[in-house]
Amino acid sequence: MEAAGLERLLVPMQQLVSWGAAGAMVFGGVVPYIPQYRDIRRTQNAEGFSTYVCLVLLVANILRILFWFGRRFESPLLWQSIIMIITMLLMLKLCTEVRVSNELNIKRRSFAAADSKDEEIKAPPKRSYLDFDLNYFWHWSKFTDYVQCVLTFTGVTGYITYLWLDSSLFVETLGFLAVFTEAMLGVPQLYRNYQNRSTEGMSVKMVLMWTSGDTFKTLYFILNQAPFQFSICGLLQVFVDLAILLQAYLYSYYPQKPVSHTTHPASTKAL
């Protein structure tokens, strides 16, 4: 009788733990960006945050959603990708608004066709469709340009996935690209810190949350027998997070001479 009563008690507890873990997977990934978002809003300065982090996560999560159509993994991982895409778009919107408001150079850069209402444009643009300059990729002046770029990428990759969905090799490769891209999440921030010889403006809380979240996520992948690509790239992501924390320690206790940015126009800095 006691064993049966204990079993009836354990079952709902296990279910509760399972729900909690799933909820942590869905929403835990966005938590690290809350302190960074608040810091940028408070200081009106986005210099310390690399928006290439947003690019990496947008690409990774779009590919992960497409991977789901070929190999149905757990739904919390699918919802995590959807929530993360929304979060990264919000981060991009804030960073773009802050950068443009602080920008001394009024030259407008865009992904799509130039707007005739832009204050600097006096003649028809040289290009009929794209005002695209690789030097200013992901440094555009309007949030709508980022949205157009994301939609274009989604449309192209979605069409290719639709054509090759029956190929198991393509599907597995797509899954690997999705999680490997996400594993490279910290690399833009790692490089930004190295360039600046400083972690000033970067939220250390954000990186600590990255590390704890990625550790939890990797353990979740292993315990729930997620596709092997998830576990391998999760471990790689944890190592990159630790490298950024090491930078924060070294640059704090052993300050480096900052690298001059005088050769770069204001519009290309930080973002």
CB 264 within 8 A of CB 209: no
pLDDT of 129 over the 60 cut? no
Mean pLDDT of the chain: 78
pLDDT of 152 over the 60 cut? yes
DSSP state letters, 161-194: HHHHTT-HHHHHHHHHHHHHHHHTTTHHHHHHHH
Q: State how far the Cα of 203 lies from the Cα of 136, in Å rounded to an integer.
A: 25
Name all domains of the chain by residue range, CATH numbers in brackets.
Answer: 1-108+138-167 (no CATH), 185-257 (1.20.1280.290)
CB 198 within 8 A of CB 257: no
CB 253 within 8 A of CB 93: no
Q: State how far the Cα of 178 lies from the Cα of 188, in Å rounded to an integer.
A: 17
Q: Model-level pTM?
A: 0.70
- pLDDT tens-digit map of 211-267: 888 888 788 778 877 777 778 888 888 898 999 999 988 888 777 655 444 333 333
pLDDT of 90 over the 90 cut? yes
Q: How far is CA 189 from CA 26, 46, 105, 118, 183, in A?
A: 23, 13, 25, 32, 13
The enclosing H or E element of 235 equals helix 228-253
Residues whose CB falls within 8 Å of the CB of residue 88, separated by 6 or more in sequence, listed in order: 54, 57, 58, 61
Comparing 63-67, 92-96, 100-104, 241-245, the range with the smallest average pLDDT is 100-104
CB 233 within 8 A of CB 101: no
Residue 139, amino acid: H
- Specify the residue for token string 């799509």: 112
- Specify the residue for token string 């891209």: 181
- pLDDT tens-digit map of 13-36: 666 766 777 777 778 778 888 888
- pLDDT tens-digit map of 158-194: 999 999 999 999 998 998 898 888 888 788 788 888 8
pLDDT of 127 over the 70 cut? no
Q: In the predicted model, what is the mean pLDDT of residues 137-156?
A: 92
